[in-house]
């Protein structure tokens, strides 16, 4: 159901204008509202205001809420990739609530920025972020992995608004992102392309062909973010096929590189805002993260790649995430 169907736009507009005068902070609205639909309308309205920027505290609150909803969704579905979801959620929140020029009411707008979740196994974190950003309804998260749901274990661009590319087979997001960035370059349009990949994923050779091509084509509208949680499926990256130093390798391929704390939203904001450190160079941001971030017993533990919490673990995780809010 369309989000506006319970209010006409003028009513929602007037109501939101009044609320915005009272407070420009999303977090204040959130506390004040109990009705989910009203909350969604207001979110949509706020995020569509060009002049509105969320402060770091509000982005952190949003990231905690997304972590909580991701956890609930995985627990309900009894499947998911919770470790890599928790490591990516601060990155997703910063992109979707600060950086990306996107409009949930026009998911296919030609001039939108593109984001590709190359580590597609963490689809649930993307769906949860898209739901909070207004691309899908929050209620739909309860259908994750259910028969006939469009919220599959890996994202599908033909089903879910806001998903740009089907991913899941690792090593394809960057090559596809290069095609998109080349298209923007050829058309002279200013939109940007962001790709988020895993560190284990970088063991796929296709990434390094893509890295060469991006530098060759001088794609300074392309940003690769590496979720550097140092774990892959079943093992540490270092013990499987060591990649360090990742930033130096991209630099050798002709990329501008930077490293940030991938859970520090202020650092992420600053790094994502820069179109490119050097004209003509694509950018690689190595985001140092922890798998399972935010939940003590999951953090930096290899088994939480796709383990599902039992009842006691779930309750403890909810408690920890709520205490942080």
Ligand X SMILES: Cc1ncc(C[n+]2csc(CCOP(=O)(O)OP(=O)(O)O)c2C)c(N)n1
| SS3 (DSSP) at 19 | helix
Smallest gap, in angstroms, from Cβ of residue 121 to ligand X? 4
Of 25 and 249, nearer to Mg ion (C-beta) is: 249
- CA dist., res. 27 & res. 92, Å (int): 18
Of 145 and 302, nearer to Mg ion (C-beta) is: 302
Of 60 and 293, nearer to ligand X (C-beta) is: 293
Tell me if 198 contacts Mg ion by CB under 5 A: yes
Q: Which does residue 192 touch among Mg ion, ligand X, none (CB within 5 to 8 A, set by kind)?
A: none
Q: Which does residue 114 touch among Mg ion, ligand X, none (CB within 5 to 8 A, set by kind)?
A: none
What would the two tokens of residue 167 be? 């991913």
> Which among 154, 109, 166 has a CA at the least distance from the CA of 135?
109
Of 155 and 200, nearer to Mg ion (C-beta) is: 200
Of 80 and 134, nearer to ligand X (C-beta) is: 80
Smallest gap, in angstroms, from Cβ of residue 313 to ligand X? 19
Write 72-75 long-range contacts (CB < 8 A, 24+). Answer: 72/141, 72/318, 73/124, 73/127, 73/128, 73/141, 73/142, 73/144, 74/124, 74/144, 74/308, 74/309, 75/308, 75/309, 75/314
What would the two tokens of residue 137 be? 């309804």
Report which residue's Cβ sits closest to ligand X.
198
By CB under 5 A, name the one of 69, 70, 85, 199 that touches Mg ion. Answer: 199
Edge to edge, what strands does the sheet with 193-198 contain?
A: 114-117, 193-198, 222-228, 283-288, 256-261
Smallest gap, in angstroms, from Cβ of residue 139 to ligand X? 27
> Which among 315, 292, 318 has a CA at the least distance from the CA of 122?
292
Tell me if 200 contacts Mg ion by CB under 5 A: yes
Selected range binding Mg ion among 15-23, 54-62, 198-206, 210-218, rule: CB under 5 A = 198-206
Q: CB neighbours of 85 closer than 8 A, spacing ≥ 6?
A: 70, 74, 122, 124, 125
* Residue 256 near residue 277 (C-beta atoms within 8 A): yes
- CA dist., res. 173 & res. 179, Å (int): 10
Smallest gap, in angstroms, from Cβ of residue 290 to ligand X? 10
Smallest gap, in angstroms, from Cβ of residue 124 to ligand X? 12
- CA dist., res. 198 & res. 54, Å (int): 27
Smallest gap, in angstroms, from Cβ of residue 3 to ligand X? 31
Tell me if 83 contacts Mg ion by CB under 5 A: no
Q: Which does residue 258 touch among Mg ion, ligand X, none (CB within 5 to 8 A, set by kind)?
A: none
Q: Which does residue 121 touch among Mg ion, ligand X, none (CB within 5 to 8 A, set by kind)?
A: ligand X
Q: Which residues bind Mg ion (CB under 5 A)?
A: 198-200, 229, 231
């Amino acid at each position: 159901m369309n989000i506006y169907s319970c209010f006409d736009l003028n009513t929602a507009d007037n109501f939101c204008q009044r609320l915005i005068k009272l407070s420009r902070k999303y977090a204040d609205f959130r506390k004040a509202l109990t009705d989910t639909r009203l909350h969604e309308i207001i979110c949509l309205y706020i995020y569509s205001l060009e002049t509105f920027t969320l402060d770091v505290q509000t982005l952190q609150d949003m990231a905690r809420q997304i972590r909580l909803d991701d956890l609930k969704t995985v627990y309900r579905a009894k499947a998911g990739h919770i470790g890599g979801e928790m490591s990516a959620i601060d990155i997703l929140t910063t992109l979707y609530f600060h950086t990306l020029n996107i409009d949930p009411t026009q998911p296919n707008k030609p001039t939108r920025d593109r984001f590709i979740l190359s580590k597609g196994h963490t689809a649930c974190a993307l769906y949860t972020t898209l739901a909070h950003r207004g691309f899908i309804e929050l209620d739909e998260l309860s259908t994750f992995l259910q028969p006939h749901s469009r919220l599959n274990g890996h994202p599908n661009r033909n089903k879910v608004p806001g998903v740009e590319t089907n991913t899941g087979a690792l090593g394809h997001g960057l090559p596809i992102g290069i095609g998109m960035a080349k298209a923007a370059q050829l058309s002279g349009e200013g939109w940007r392309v962001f790709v988020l990949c895993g560190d284990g994923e970088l063991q796929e050779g296709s990434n390094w062909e893509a890295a060469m091509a991006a530098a060759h084509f001088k794609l300074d509208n392309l940003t690769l973010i590496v979720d550097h949680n140092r774990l892959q499926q079943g093992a540490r990256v270092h013990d499987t096929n060591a990649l360090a130093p990742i930033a130096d390798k991209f630099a050798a391929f002709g990329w501008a590189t930077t490293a940030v704390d991938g859970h520090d939203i202020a650092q992420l904001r600053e790094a994502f805002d820069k179109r490119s450190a050097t004209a003509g160079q694509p950018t690689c941001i190595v985001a140092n993260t922890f798998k399972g971030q935010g939940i003590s017993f999951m953090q930096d533990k290899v088994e939480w790649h796709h383990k599902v919490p039992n009842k006691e673990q779930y309750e403890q995780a909810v408690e920890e995430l709520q205490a942080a809010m």
